[in-house]
Structure 1
């Protein structure tokens, strides 16, 4: 059984397992296994010679980097060409952009690097399409600008958030306030400065054993979840602010537009054709 199949099997088991006191330890271990397999799935591209694919190795420049993320044909290239002097080919068919195309926005003396990335498809976190290359670049961004098709409602947003979450990109979240350090010996020393309601010492020990960690110091400084603990143990998560941009609002009715506008304070509506 390959890594992708193992990931899918664990996801199915998590989905069909009822969440209650009797299953919380089992679910915690499953989540730890899932995180490990997802990391293994991304590692080959990093270890196989370091190639990121033609057009993806873009040098970071300017005062900040913004990555344009979205499904194919949502208007990313049109947006880049409109707000920068860079021409990115735009067309009504999907997969127009095949490489990473950089542009620069000059605003109040600041230079902001804007990257037009190829459209993500469902399953990108498992290596489908150019998912690995797109994700590798997205992790280096200071801001993710998620382009969405307003006619698709929140379906695209949910799918993209799921893909980015699966590869360790945490949108609009701060790093959990958990101190974690491996040691050469002395066993596991666990303390917490606040009451914990999402996990206990037995749960933490189970997750550490799954990672074959038997000596470590852990201090919980906030009431964190099992998923947040796993993020800290993995050590490769990135926490990036995200701005949601709904394009093609000229194709929806006023009521739908009003609903979108009220749904989140971190979003914009536009019609880039």
Structure 2
């Protein structure tokens, strides 16, 4: 979010309020509330910690507004009424936001220092090209992208086109990598050899739950598929037992 450094709080409050009205929550985590609708059984309300902003009457009143008479609620953190409504609605978006304050060349050094200390904020000046490199670094850190390089058997890793993973979308595990390559890769997955900071030794043999880190190199080994045919092909296998004469198919006699 790009803001004017000469009047930062005014613009920030307006834009944040407009985004809140359409269901977008900035720099917030989803409420840790378990909510499930049921056909029967009434309303069940439980909590693992004391609730300071809610009580049973207020919760039931909110549920009645949404015509929910059979559901289960479990509060795992101290939540507010707005958090409960967000969970019931189920259409809220929780997005990371970096507040970029432009035109800091028109502010004093004390004001720039104060802006730089604010959470998720960075001061810049487009006209003077001030702190542009720092802006790129902050954007990269907030996106938390994980670049994974793939490697074929007997070949060098492909450093030209990495597979990009994120923890917010799909995860950064080997399973997420396989799904991004192809949906059938998970069923064909046998194990993977991993080189990089996420492995204890080079290479490390890992399963689908292994967490990848930035600039890891991965070589995926597929399962061998038994097709029941003659076994020719890279991923086809045959039984170790020799083919018996009685099992061979008899060819029809030649016409003379």
What's the TM-score once normalised by structure 2's chain length? 0.48
Determine which structure has the larger helix proportion and give its number. 1
What's the TM-score once normalised by structure 1's chain length? 0.45
Q: Find the structure with the greater CA-based Rg.
A: 2
Structure showing greater relative contact order (alpha-carbon pairs closer than 8 Å, 6 or more residues apart): 1
